Structure 1
Amino acid sequence: MTPSIHFTLSFSEPQAHYVEVQMHIKSFASLDYLDLKMPVWAPGSYLIREYPKNVERFSASSTDGKELKAYKTSKNTWRVEHKKSDIIITYAVYAFENSVRTSHIDYSHAFLSPVGVFMYVHDHLHLPCLVTVNLPSHWSKISTGLEPEDNLNSYSAANFDILYDSPLEIGNQDSWTFEVEGVPHEFAMVGFADYDREQLTADVTKIVAEENRIWGSNPNQHYTFVTHNYQSAHGGLEHLNSTILAASRYTYSQPSTYKGYLSLVAHEYFHLWNVKRLRPKALGPFDYEQENYTTGLWIMEGFTSYYDNLIIRRCGFYNEREYLQQLAIDFNTVYNRPGYELQSAAMSSFDTWIKQYRPDENSHNTSISYYNKGAMLAVAMDIKIIADTQGQYRLDDVLKAAYKQFYLIENRGFEEEELLQLAEKVTGVSLREIFQAAHRLEELDYNTYFNRVGYQLIDQNANQNHTTLGVKVVFSDGKSIIKQVDRNSGAWVGGLNVEDELIAINGHRIDPLGKALDYILTRAKDGDILHVLIARDGIINSLDITARLSDKKAFSIEAISNEDPKVSALGDIWLSKN
């Protein structure tokens, strides 16, 4: 018989945040021992999260109830000595971390991130598996991308890669189903929120239809959206045929925040193609025990970040002004971090394992996000293709062709050079300068791109003479606490530290509303020496800090007046005005 795995999930103590797991390993060849492993990270969230830390009460037995010797050999490996073909593993997982990438269980529901719940047999990720859920009496629903079986509350996966890409939401979520171009989509809302089912269905249908148009076909047999509604939250994680979203429960009542939520939906759904199927070679098959390095996240996340708001524009949710404001945020985010002079988009991708998800007080000085920088490179690429081909092609055509070639035909990951060559072949446009820019610190002149479609990137702060200390201050409990110090600012050179309490400057007591600080900085000139009184670890200190002109940017993207009609027509294509 073919070996297989049958998991059974039970919830005897959901209020204490536990799921009990039984793992029935069937028809396995007789060996001296089996090594059971749990992943240490979740695909799509590039950080070693050490999921095995939440495992307890591990035991092993034969099917006749005889206890088997079991012990750990590494942080995520349990060894079971046996001579039988069938064995039963039991363990419990503690789950009480609210995020889209970690499991959370309480009396009201269970959200299970599968990488932190299900173990696999070493070197046997290919085995099929079945998951059966024993629902507590007060829960009634299961939402997942797994395939439902005839058995009550049972779901199957052809292998562990599919299982690990299929989270489960279990509880009493408000869920409904609608079809988009023949594909059923489930929408599940967890937690109280004031949303309109009909409006959500209509709006998400538009988004799905537009993304289907971009990519040419939809790979799903069915798809599941799960949204966790909190007091304050925003984020998402893509999966093979589902996504987990986090939103504020108040998101749906305000047009601006609701459009932001729709952009999040567009972003995660776009990942169906871009990263889950069209992907760099390093991103699958996965090694679940250690980092999987790639320099290509500026393409996978950056391009997706460019398209999420563009799709919302194409669907008519954003007007032109709103869309350009959203796009300008990427430029402001990158150029207001001194780290853009130290880290390229490609290196940001490679270092995501140690930087992106582990920010500290100095991160803005040393790094950027491949999300924002990748979006900037994507808009340059899209505009260049549109302008060079007089609107015949755009970035959509590159993605569609790449998806067809690398996934539908060859079913493999790509090398970055291969993607560049395919893009140039499809469009007939030289794009090497943009791909190279992803690996360099030198910046593209983005206005050479924007101008070609009748727009310009303008720094509204360019002629402003604002002086600054170069710090970010948070006012808390009547104290003014420094939380960031900008590289090469007056504060940086003069020795102000994060966690210093600002007490006074030039004899003016710093108040919790920041009025004194504003007063001093609006009157200071570039090069003025400011006498700063601080408390550092309970010790009073005085420092002389040089006021300097602020280099903070405030970019906007605006139409160029009196432009050539042909150029304006290209701008209309870019912004989907036609």
Structure 2
Amino acid sequence: MKKNVLLLYLLTLWTFLTSQSLVADPLRPADETPPAVAPSVTYILSMPEPQTHYFEVEMQVKNAATATNAKKNGYLDIKMPVWTPGSYLIREYAKNVEAFTASASDKRVPSEKIRKNAWRVYTSDDNVTIRYRLYANDLTVRTCFIDADHGYVMPAGTFMYHDALKNQPLRLIIKPYKDWKKVATGLKQVTEKVGITTDFTYEAPDFDILVDSPIEIGNHDTFTFTASNIPHTVAMFGEVAYNQQRLAADYKRVCETAATVIGEHPCTDYTFIVHHIPPGGGGLEHLNSTTLETTRNAYATEANYKGFLTLVAHEYFHLWNVKRIRPIALGPFDYENENYTHMLWLSEGCTSFYEDYILRRAGFHTPEAYLNIVANDITGIENQPGVRVQSVAESSWDAWIKGYRPNENSTNTTISYYSKGSVLGSLLNLAILAGSNGERSMDDLMRFLYNEYYKKQKRGFTDDEFRKAAEQMAGKKLDDFFNIAVNTADPINYNAYFEPVGIQLVNVAAKTQDGFLGTATTVANGKATITGVRRGSAAYTDGLNVGDEILAVDSIRVGDDLLRLISGRRVGDKLSVLVNRAGFVREITVTLTQNPLASYRLEPLPNRTDAQKALYNKWLYIK
């Protein structure tokens, strides 16, 4: 009886206080409305007909009219990103969207497309639901895919957003196709209080985290391992033979060695999504996950296996370099426009440096093998004519228009910020080792950037701040490195970097009088077609063009034996080349030139000092 009276009293009191708060609040101005309920966004991802290559997306926006200015404007604008972080190209994801509709309070409301990637929904309602279909038939680490076997979600190419709600917590509900039982992602799964997971419901603190969390859906193989006391999950799609015990152990070696660079692991968990597909090759980094693409014979030979571990090391090290240690332009992101930086040579190229350095430190490469890798990297960039045209800083800036859109002339005019950046990572490491008498290395520079800018200042760094940090670690000015190696296309004095560790770079290309034509060709159906012409070569100077079909050399018919026909010819020899150019037959005289290609090797200096030997051992982790 007393319990019922108390409940009645509390109910009456609550009703009175609530009515008073709605009528008047002495602390709130008369014209101010009560605080609104926080807006929320929930995405529902379905795939009822995966064989058609379509995802179905529902975006539920709750209590958002005031936050989005829909109350005032009478509309809200919904957008889709045009690119994804880590892949510096405008990809126009909105091209895959169709059947966009919107409803408010369960009633259809008008909407229209106002830009290539934006839709305007005409409503001032608090609760809006957007639905659309997404065509997904491009299986890369940067795009979306679904078929009868599995689904892969690249969130930037899947989910839309509103500017005012980007920083709001959100929820994602995944409804896998009826026969699929597994989802792999770095997103946090929603759990009940007792610790029992719900089906496939996930949460993210904001849209940036959602974009940074790819998703694999299907019946993939899964195994786990622990590295640096962090649980790691590997989701393996594609029929492939592998030794799970060995692979897990080697993942662990790579991951734990990578973690020693910074000395701190920033994640509570980590997910590898691995696609084994015929093209293979590639990866994309994310905050606590990565997607890797490799071939189905990735584990069949030792060479293939080490190649795959190199990819693992590269993408895993990105969880520090890029995702936390980053140029200031790389986050927070503008998803509608290019995000420019001169420092992709650091973000991507120096990660390429670390991929091999990590494998050396983990014992997968001998010191001799590592030296060969460094020398081959130098050979690769020095044999590309574009290294004398484009600086690595320019290459970084122009990634948006050149890096991902190569043409037949790219080798003549550009250099990759990956390949040259990897070489520069090696040189900067050596400069710091030499300048500090072995007390510091590239690791110390990365730790400083991590602690100072990611942890302390919670931002990226400028080009000038990076240079000052590097010079601080080296204990000296690095004018030759930054003014020449980074910011110009001038030749690099490599041996100035290698001499302190007692080695020298030597060109061991065989000296020959054989003439050089300078074309790259493909042969199909007995036809030899030029696909590239090297700048400064005989073909370039005398007028052979990309697209020319070579019919004959000195009146001898050419099929798949072009190299045989020109081998043994000397520098200065003249060739009569008959070509089919766009249906017209032309005869072109070509004068062979000297072969410009180098082949570099790192060799010990004679009479190395004890100091050089000690620094060499420290560089290559020789005990």
- TM-score in terms of structure 1 length: 0.97
Query: Using the alignment, how far apart are the partners of 2:377 and 2:514 within structure 1?
Result: 23
Residue 554 (structure 2) pairs with residue 520 (structure 1): no
2:335 aligned to which of 288, 295, 310: 288
Q: What is the DSSP-based 3-state SS (H/G/I as helix, E as strand, rest coil) of the residue aligned with 1:149? A: strand
Q: How does 1:95-494 map to 2 (within 5 A)?
A: 95-150=136-191, 151-436=198-483, 437-461=485-509, 463-494=511-542
Opposite residue 77 of structure 2, the aligned amino acid is D
Q: What is the DSSP-based 3-state SS (H/G/I as helix, E as strand, rest coil) of the residue aligned with 2:292? A: strand
Which ranges of structure 2 fall in alignment gaps of 5 or more residues? 1-36, 192-197
Q: CA deviation at 1:527?
A: 1.9
The answer (yes or no) to whether the contact 1:299–1:374 under 8 Å persists in 2 is: yes
Q: What is the DSSP-based 3-state SS (H/G/I as helix, E as strand, rest coil) of the residue aligned with 1:458? A: strand
Residue 99 (structure 2) pairs with residue 60 (structure 1): no
Query: Using the alignment, how far apart are the partners of 1:255 and 1:355 within structure 2?
Result: 34
Query: Using the alignment, how far apart are the partners of 1:181 and 1:543 within structure 2?
Result: 64
Q: CA deviation at 1:232?
A: 3.2
The answer (yes or no) to whether the contact 2:506–2:600 under 8 Å persists in 1 is: yes
Query: Using the alignment, how far apart are the partners of 2:479 and 2:175 within structure 1?
Result: 55
The answer (yes or no) to whether the contact 1:381–1:431 under 8 Å persists in 2 is: no
**Which residue number corresponds to residue 536 of structure 1?**
581
**Which residue number corresponds to residue 564 of structure 1?**
609
Query: Using the alignment, how far apart are the partners of 2:467 and 2:477 within structure 1?
Result: 9
Cα 1:96–1:533, aligned 2, differ >3 Å: closer, same or farther? same
Query: Using the alignment, how far apart are the partners of 1:95 and 1:310 within structure 2?
Result: 37
Query: Using the alignment, how far apart are the partners of 1:364 and 1:147 within structure 2?
Result: 44
Between Structure 1 and Structure 2, whose CA radius of gyration is higher? 2
The answer (yes or no) to whether the contact 1:384–1:449 under 8 Å persists in 2 is: yes
Query: Using the alignment, how far apart are the partners of 1:499 and 1:350 within structure 2?
Result: 30
The answer (yes or no) to whether the contact 1:114–1:164 under 8 Å persists in 2 is: yes
Q: CA deviation at 1:114?
A: 0.3
The answer (yes or no) to whether the contact 1:510–1:517 under 8 Å persists in 2 is: no
The answer (yes or no) to whether the contact 2:169–2:203 under 8 Å persists in 1 is: yes
Q: What is the DSSP-based 3-state SS (H/G/I as helix, E as strand, rest coil) of the residue aligned with 1:298? A: helix
Q: CA deviation at 1:572?
A: 1.4
The answer (yes or no) to whether the contact 2:436–2:473 under 8 Å persists in 1 is: no
**Which residue number corresponds to residue 83 of structure 1?**
124
- Report the more deviating stretch, 554-563 or 186-195: 554-563
The answer (yes or no) to whether the contact 2:538–2:593 under 8 Å persists in 1 is: yes
Q: What is the DSSP-based 3-state SS (H/G/I as helix, E as strand, rest coil) of the residue aligned with 2:58? A: strand
Opposite residue 578 of structure 2, the aligned amino acid is L
The answer (yes or no) to whether the contact 2:259–2:265 under 8 Å persists in 1 is: yes
Query: Using the alignment, how far apart are the partners of 1:388 and 1:494 within structure 2?
Result: 48
The answer (yes or no) to whether the contact 2:175–2:200 under 8 Å persists in 1 is: yes
Q: CA deviation at 1:561?
A: 4.8
Opposite residue 406 of structure 1, the aligned amino acid is Y
Query: Using the alignment, how far apart are the partners of 2:620 and 2:211 within structure 1?
Result: 38
Q: CA deviation at 1:270?
A: 0.7
The answer (yes or no) to whether the contact 2:433–2:474 under 8 Å persists in 1 is: no
Q: What is the DSSP-based 3-state SS (H/G/I as helix, E as strand, rest coil) of the residue aligned with 2:340? A: coil
The answer (yes or no) to whether the contact 1:227–1:246 under 8 Å persists in 2 is: yes
Residue 93 (structure 2) pairs with residue 51 (structure 1): yes
2:76 aligned to which of 34, 49, 52: 34
Query: Using the alignment, how far apart are the partners of 1:43 and 1:96 within structure 2?
Result: 20
Residue correspondences, number:
574
Q: CA deviation at 1:462?
A: 6.1
Query: Using the alignment, how far apart are the partners of 1:38 and 1:269 within structure 2?
Result: 28
Q: CA deviation at 1:266?
A: 0.6
Q: CA deviation at 1:469?
A: 1.1
**Which residue number corresponds to residue 554 of structure 1?**
599
Opposite residue 149 of structure 1, the aligned amino acid is V
Opposite residue 605 of structure 2, the aligned amino acid is I
Query: Using the alignment, how far apart are the partners of 1:173 and 1:207 within structure 2?
Result: 23
The answer (yes or no) to whether the contact 1:454–1:559 under 8 Å persists in 2 is: yes
Q: 1:475-530 deviations in whole A, cap 9, x for unaligned?
A: 11111110000112111111111111111111222231x2x5334232x2222221
Query: Using the alignment, how far apart are the partners of 1:313 and 1:520 within structure 2?
Result: 41
**Which residue number corresponds to residue 10 of structure 2?**
none
Query: Using the alignment, how far apart are the partners of 1:440 and 1:532 within structure 2?
Result: 38
Query: Using the alignment, how far apart are the partners of 1:140 and 1:561 within structure 2?
Result: 63
The answer (yes or no) to whether the contact 1:226–1:243 under 8 Å persists in 2 is: yes
Query: Using the alignment, how far apart are the partners of 1:59 and 1:287 within structure 2?
Result: 25
The answer (yes or no) to whether the contact 1:17–1:96 under 8 Å persists in 2 is: yes
Q: CA deviation at 1:221?
A: 1.1
The answer (yes or no) to whether the contact 2:235–2:274 under 8 Å persists in 1 is: yes
Q: CA deviation at 1:254?
A: 0.6
Query: Using the alignment, how far apart are the partners of 1:90 and 1:386 within structure 2?
Result: 57
Which ranges of structure 1 fall in alignment gaps of 5 or more residues? none
Q: CA deviation at 1:452?
A: 1.8
The answer (yes or no) to whether the contact 2:432–2:473 under 8 Å persists in 1 is: no
- Report the more deviating stretch, 427-436 or 128-137: 427-436
Query: Using the alignment, how far apart are the partners of 2:440 and 2:609 within structure 1?
Result: 20
The answer (yes or no) to whether the contact 2:235–2:273 under 8 Å persists in 1 is: yes
Opposite residue 177 of structure 1, the aligned amino acid is T
Opposite residue 7 of structure 1, the aligned amino acid is Y
Q: CA deviation at 1:423?
A: 2.4
Q: CA deviation at 1:559?
A: 3.1
Query: Using the alignment, how far apart are the partners of 1:557 and 1:537 within structure 2?
Result: 46
The answer (yes or no) to whether the contact 1:530–1:545 under 8 Å persists in 2 is: yes
Q: 1:209-261 deviations in whole A, cap 9, x for unaligned?
A: 11211112111011101110012311100001100000011011211111111
Query: Using the alignment, how far apart are the partners of 1:555 and 1:99 within structure 2?
Result: 34
The answer (yes or no) to whether the contact 2:434–2:474 under 8 Å persists in 1 is: no
Q: CA deviation at 1:466?
A: 3.2
Query: Using the alignment, how far apart are the partners of 2:236 and 2:605 within structure 1?
Result: 43
Q: 1:128-167 deviations in whole A, cap 9, x for unaligned?
A: 1111011222101111011110232001110011110101
**Which residue number corresponds to residue 135 of structure 2?**
94
Query: Using the alignment, how far apart are the partners of 2:200 and 2:540 within structure 1?
Result: 59
Opposite residue 88 of structure 1, the aligned amino acid is T
Cα 1:426–1:384, aligned 2, differ >3 Å: closer, same or farther? closer
